[in-house]
Amino acid sequence: MTTEQIGKGLQLRTLVKHSGVLELSLVEVETPTPKADEVIVRVEAAPINPSDLGLLFGGADMSTAKASGTADRPVITASIPQNVLKSMAGRFDESLPAGNEGAGVVVAAGESPAAQALLGKVVAILGGAMYAQYRCMRASQCLVLPQGTTPAEGASCFVNPLTALGMVETMRLEGHKALVHTAAASNLGQMLVKICLKDGVPLVNVVRKQEQVELLKSIGAQHVCNASAPDFMEQLTEALVATGATIAFDATGGGRLAGQILTCMEAALNRTAKEFSRYGSTTHKQVYIYGGLERSPTELNRNFGMAWGIGGWLLTPFLQKIGPAAAQQLRERVAAEIKTTFASSYTRVVPLREVLTLEAIADYGAQATGHKYLINPNG
Amino acid sequence: MTTEQIGKGLQLRTLVKHSGVLELSLVEVETPTPKADEVIVRVEAAPINPSDLGLLFGGADMSTAKASGTADRPVITASIPQNVLKSMAGRFDESLPAGNEGAGVVVAAGESPAAQALLGKVVAILGGAMYAQYRCMRASQCLVLPQGTTPAEGASCFVNPLTALGMVETMRLEGHKALVHTAAASNLGQMLVKICLKDGVPLVNVVRKQEQVELLKSIGAQHVCNASAPDFMEQLTEALVATGATIAFDATGGGRLAGQILTCMEAALNRTAKEFSRYGSTTHKQVYIYGGLERSPTELNRNFGMAWGIGGWLLTPFLQKIGPAAAQQLRERVAAEIKTTFASSYTRVVPLREVLTLEAIADYGAQATGHKYLINPNG
């Protein structure tokens, strides 16, 4: 240890009680003394991503949320529906930290040269427990941001950028030449538009509002289909014929959208087919569900032949599959393009205590495009 | 040609008119003179499999079926719903033969030694157009049945046996150690029970009636779950814990069953999990839909984490994937065990003209276990 001791810091905690109650609170935790290869990061920016909400809310019905505690130490409680509670048994009565990713300044470092070299640097981290004032982390797990990058600019270096890059890589690995993305006006969706423009990959964007069509076209998207339009299926089929996309990444999960995409892919393939195939097109059509914005059941009409698949897609298993060297290449691309391709925008920047207000929960909990929060735990 | 000329023979035809009418009929066709490497098979047995009905009925609503023609040359017409008709465009106004597989006696042969060697032999064929009195076929495509096997015994040598073997092979290839099968009391299901007993593969059978539970237990099945029982989900979860099955083959397709299987797999995996995983079990759970006995939409509640997949499964792409040598090994196993593991049973044996009666269509068209027809085109 060559740097000053950091005392205590606040950390956001999520607790699922076996009685079926969720409790969110702030607790004061001792900041550890970093080991030789570790650093202490003063977290200054951590986004609330849809992928954080599962752990944070523990399946609770947030319309039942109640506020208590004080302004500085707010407490939120909410009830967890009985049918969901079962799947939470593994975390009963354990107070868990949250926050997948974030960025901050290295304010203390262990004695190893690698750790010492990070002192004063702005770094991004994917490691959990980022909704906290301080985070102890292995030096090797810190992504050093280019000179002049602020923690706010680097807060979303991993989840959205690597997911967007992972979609394009998955498309290539599985032998497709173009892709479809839903909820495409999101931060992640806009990154994907920029990646595909840069890499020359044809992309079909699916959104739900006309203003989102215009937003995506304004940043260069060529194919944008509005799922709320009466001629959505025709729009989508035309875009699939034009691009040849046979793989899709769906953030909504529930409802008919995943099945509609497969139906339109099949229609697009059959339009150019040379002869009747009794089991439908023999070209494999794939939809990966990577989110659950729409909580209703997924409904498939199965009018898309037999060569199809639907499945879950997650970033971590994808990174494991491609291996550490390939994953590191993706991370370095993100760092290099953090102010352009991978720039994020947020609706509000809030301190930890404001994350635990009913008003904020109703806002960021809706997971709607344009309601994205950034936490500054030291703000 | 060294053998007698065969004149004409009847062939069952299915025709989808662009006007939306299905027409089934019998036509007299000239039996070709076999080329050097071809033989003429007098077809004596061809099953009506679920996989034949798609081509046969062309998506028509068979409750609208009307009979006309004569007793010897019956004609059936039925209307095709508008939403299905589109997908039939590739076969509009083309009279197509039907019948995936069957068996018969070689009654004429081309001059090649391979063809000549088959004269008089009982052979099984997977080649389409088997609902006919005569079928011209390449000698190399004929599976010679063991001495003493009748065409009726060898009629179902391919579709069900290779599908059942293909399920076990797919399970192995994709790294699972046990499997689930639905509609498990079918001919195919009974074969699968026998294969799994013989090969020591744990199998979970899902049926819909208590008498089917007893039927499968009587042939040695260890795990049989009744989807109609109020405690079906508990039954299934217990069987999944006991077997460790993480792959399923579902013949029903529609409704909630595929999703229920994934839900129970996840519950079984979590029961033995050591720590809470926020995205659910990391073990991949797979359901392949290989049939459509239940025509309603597939409904998935997605309460089974993120490591899951659902997709179509078909025999032909599977055989292409494993390659000709492996496929031939499977065929030889079927021929060797055709009277034991791969024995089929039929409810009725009918001549071609009886396939085209309203009564028969209502019966075999229901695709219910115990309503299986065998056609003897020369009966």
Question: Mind listing the pLDDT tens digit of every residue in chain B (379 residues)?
Answer: 444 457 899 999 999 999 999 999 999 999 999 999 999 999 999 999 988 999 999 999 999 999 999 999 999 999 999 988 988 888 999 999 999 999 999 999 999 999 999 999 999 999 999 999 999 999 999 999 999 999 999 999 999 999 999 999 999 999 999 999 999 999 999 999 999 999 999 999 999 999 999 999 999 999 999 999 999 999 999 999 999 999 999 999 999 999 999 999 999 998 877 776 777 899 999 999 999 889 899 999 999 999 999 999 999 999 999 999 999 999 999 999 999 999 999 999 999 999 999 999 999 998 777 789 999 999 8
Residue bearing tokens 């020591």: B200
Give the pLDDT band of residue A5 (cuts 50, 70, 90): low
Which of A306, A316, A320 to mutate: most B Cβ within 10 Å?
A: A306
Report ipTM (2 d.p.).
0.86
For residue B334, what are the β-bridge partners? none
Q: Is B312 on the interface with A (CB under 8 A)?
A: yes
Q: Is A297 on the interface with B (CB under 8 A)?
A: yes
What residues in B contact A306, CB-CB < 8 Å? 290, 312-314
Residue bearing tokens 């600019």: A153
What residues in A contact B277, CB-CB < 8 Å? 90
| Distance to chain A for B149, nearest Cα, Å | 31
| Distance to chain A for B33, nearest Cα, Å | 27
Instruction: Give dist(CA B205, CA B185) in Å, integer.
Output: 8
Residues B302, A306: C-beta atoms closer than 8 Å: no
Question: Number of Cβ pairs closer than 8 Å across A and B?
Answer: 96
| Distance to chain B for A165, nearest Cα, Å | 19
| Distance to chain B for A328, nearest Cα, Å | 23
Mean pLDDT of A35-57: 95
Q: Amino acid identity of B289?
A: I
Instruction: Give dist(CA B88, CA B21) in Å, integer.
Output: 11
Q: How many helices (H) and strands (E) does chain A have?
A: 13, 20
What beta strand segments (E) does A80-120 contain? Answer: 96-97, 101-109
Instruction: Give dist(CA A368, CA A370) in Å, integer.
Output: 6
Residues B306, A312: C-beta atoms closer than 8 Å: yes
Mean pLDDT of A236-242: 97
DSSP-assigned letter for residue A132:
B
What residues in B contact A89, CB-CB < 8 Å? 270
Which of A15, A87, A287 to mutate: most B Cβ within 10 Å?
A: A87
Is B161 within 8 Å of B130 (Cβ atoms)? Answer: no
Instruction: Give dist(CA A205, CA A201) in Å, integer.
Output: 12
Q: Is A274 on the interface with B (CB under 8 A)?
A: no
DSSP-assigned letter for residue A81:
P
Q: Is A276 on the interface with B (CB under 8 A)?
A: yes
Residues A292, B302: C-beta atoms closer than 8 Å: yes
Q: Is B297 on the interface with A (CB under 8 A)?
A: yes
For residue B134, what are the β-bridge partners? B42
For residue A144, what are the β-bridge partners? A123
Residues B276, A91: C-beta atoms closer than 8 Å: yes
Residues A87, B280: C-beta atoms closer than 8 Å: yes
Residues B302, A253: C-beta atoms closer than 8 Å: yes
Residues A311, B308: C-beta atoms closer than 8 Å: yes
Q: Is B253 on the interface with A (CB under 8 A)?
A: yes
What is residue A53's predicted lDDT score, i.e. its pLDDT? 93
What residues in B contact A292, CB-CB < 8 Å? 302
Q: Is B59 on the interface with A (CB under 8 A)?
A: no
What beta strand segments (E) does B241-361 contain? Answer: 247-250, 253-255, 285-289, 294-300, 308-312, 348-350
Q: Is B299 on the interface with A (CB under 8 A)?
A: yes
